[in-house]
Structure 1
């Protein structure tokens, strides 16, 4: 009862003021302890997730994304795919909301008690290469490998060499049917072979990623360009 002990004096005053019975007093203590433990667990899991920012699904304007319906988004929000270890692959040009929806689903998963890890491909490659000899990389990779949901952002934004592709395959192979994965990419799977440089590794990665997956194509113009902020008030300078 570590959390309750900090507020015990306050509870005793309330009990006295409201003439609580012993049973009522005990119920209040246990309810508070359970609530605080859940809040602290969520705080810890949010810290471990390492989201670049926090934006909920409610903040996403679906009118900007005609390729995804309200019903489909609600279905994703239910997280039944996560409980069944399904993967989600979000494909589309930059700025259409792939990362926002990924983070929104990640936040939803955290608040339902799941462990989530978010990482961009740019961060993941050096992490994989230094896992063997850097304690910090080992700890981050341990959390990624133990997560219920792993979000890999900007997949295949740059070419990999043979060693990097091999390390990436081993990660995907470890996560296969243990965790759900959300991938975002502006390149389709048909282009991944050129970036990985090895058709055999590409086939093995795709085989595991797409075995149980939903591929969603995001269409539309970039929200960043559409809603960009300008230093000048006039239309142009």
Structure 2
């Protein structure tokens, strides 16, 4: 008992939480299996590394701010025109991310643009990339408040180091000229260093109507479209197709 308490104390001091909580059961299993001291040490370290990797992934997922629906295994390509399974598999290889390519996911509301982009963001996270998911209004709020808000500045610095930034529902909100200028500088800062996935129901030609400044719009598009694939999706709205009701059906 004293040995267990001493080992637990050492683990707390060394911040080996997984080993400290499981060392007794691991030792019992090792004794039953008759493994060597080196194999026992390897098991201990494997458990600690797995625990830390899990915690690290949980932290990264929280910082990414992924929506609830982000598991690509649940994405049904048969329900969407423009995203065959072969193309999705190619996107999952992430060569476009290594090449600093951008993706624009274009299509009507409700067909899974956010689902697809969040899924690719999560897939990138699992493969060791720094990836973040932000709605357009979150990006603009961050840019407006970064000089007066520590959380906004922290997020700004976090996105500066990203391999991938998803901007969801771009051009869904009207942007004032000064805000459009700030958004341009944000895109320009990350240009050729970070890949973007942008979801939108408006074609790039329509973006000027939201921004209200053709020069700034052209400058933004020049950077986004320089190395970019436009994925045009179509189909029936998932939300309307699977609409819920609080009422029971009445004959």
Cα RMSD of the aligned pairs, angstroms, is 1.6
Task: For 1:74-223, list aligned pairs within 5 A.
Answer: 74-223=89-238
How far apart are the structure 2 equivalents of 1:227 and 1:155? 25
How far is 1:235 from its partner?
7.8
Judged with a 3 Å threshold, the aligned counterparts in structure 2 of structure 1 residues 75 and 235 are, in CA distance, closer, same or farther, namely farther
Number of residue-to-residue matches in the alignment: 236
**Structure 1 runs of 4+ with >4 Å offset:** none
How far is 1:57 from its partner?
1.3
Normalised to the residue count of structure 2, the TM-score between the two structures is 0.89
How far apart are the structure 2 equivalents of 1:235 and 1:65? 32
Judged with a 3 Å threshold, the aligned counterparts in structure 2 of structure 1 residues 198 and 235 are, in CA distance, closer, same or farther, namely farther
How far is 1:32 from its partner?
1.8
Structure with higher Rg: it is 2
Unaligned runs of 5+ in 2: 1-13
Normalised to the residue count of structure 1, the TM-score between the two structures is 0.94
Unaligned runs of 5+ in 1: none
How far apart are the structure 1 equivalents of 2:27 and 2:77? 49
Judged with a 3 Å threshold, the aligned counterparts in structure 2 of structure 1 residues 61 and 235 are, in CA distance, closer, same or farther, namely farther
| CA offsets 1:195-216 (integer angstroms, 9 cap, x no match) | 1122121111111111111101
Counterpart in the other structure of 1:40: 55
Which moves more between the two structures, 225-234 or 178-187?
225-234
How far apart are the structure 2 equivalents of 1:131 and 1:33? 37
How far apart are the structure 1 equivalents of 2:134 and 2:161? 14
